[in-house]
Amino acid sequence: MSDWIDLTVLIKKTNLIFPGDEQLEITKVKSLSEDGYNLNQLYLNMHLGTHIDFKNHVSVKEEEIDFNDFLGKANVIRPKIIDSVVSTEDLRTKYEALIYKERILLLDLHHASKFNTKAYYEPIYFEPSIYQFLREYNINLLGSDLPTFIYKNDPDLKMHRECLKNGIRLIENLTNLNQLTSHIYFLGLPLSIEGIEASLIRAVAKNI
């Protein structure tokens, strides 16, 4: 049995989607009975399932994508959430206590159990101080089991803008983080498609 753990949500047409997004459509354009083979066409946006946001999600500037940026050793932390806000102070305390500190950080916020329910889209917020924490420790890939990263009272996607424009990429809609220890190997490769602002990924991890 493989000891790799799948961190990727299953995409289905019946999934509840992020408010305002369009539903997944799967159209069969060739069939085994009529054409001798099956061929489906998908209509979906790149934020539908487990995905990574790139700089041009919030900027006109595109970036060069190197798959090496999306694999390697990573840390998993479970910070406190106080009044629906992730505590940067608790996050910092738990990160500083780690023996090995890596550039990839996953936050297990115990939110994945709500996936495919309306409660999943009730926001969990971050304090603006998390941005300075990420810069201080040279973390350039941040993931969580949330549908989005957002500061409280932030209608302008400021957290996305601060992070993405400064080289901190964001992974959203992870799952099974409760199966991980604090130190892991992580792999979450984006699709190789020119010009996209985000990409679906297949994220997996192995405990160290």
pLDDT in tens, 148-178: 999 988 877 899 999 999 999 999 999 999 9
Using pLDDT thresholds of 50, 70 and 90, give the confidence band for residue 97.
Answer: very high
Compute the average pLDDT of residues 92-107: 96
Contacts of 12 (CB under 8 A, 6+ apart): 24
**Which of 181, 185, 191, 177 is CA-nearest to residue 7?**
177
How far apart are the C-alpha atoms of 115 and 112, rounded to whole Å?
5
Cβ-contact 3, 206 below 8 angstroms: yes
| Count of Cβ atoms closer than 10 Å to residue 153 Cβ | 7
Cβ-contact 54, 61 below 8 angstroms: no
Amino acid found at 114: K
- Count of helices and strands (H, E) across the chain: 4, 13
Domains of the chain: 46-207 (3.50.30.50)
Kindly report the CA angle at 178 between 177 and 183, in degrees rounded to 5?
70
Q: Say what the alpha-carbon torsion angle 57, 60, 64, 65 is, to the nearest 10 degrees.
A: 10
pLDDT tens across 5-63, in order?
A: 999 999 888 888 888 788 888 899 999 999 999 998 988 888 889 999 988 787 767 67
**Cα→Cα distances 128→43, 67, 125, 133, Å:** 35, 29, 9, 9
pLDDT tens across 53-93, in order?
A: 988 787 767 677 888 999 999 999 999 999 999 999 999 99
Tell me what pLDDT residue 136 has: 96
Compute the average pLDDT of residues 119-141: 95
**The pLDDT of residue 1 is above 50:** no
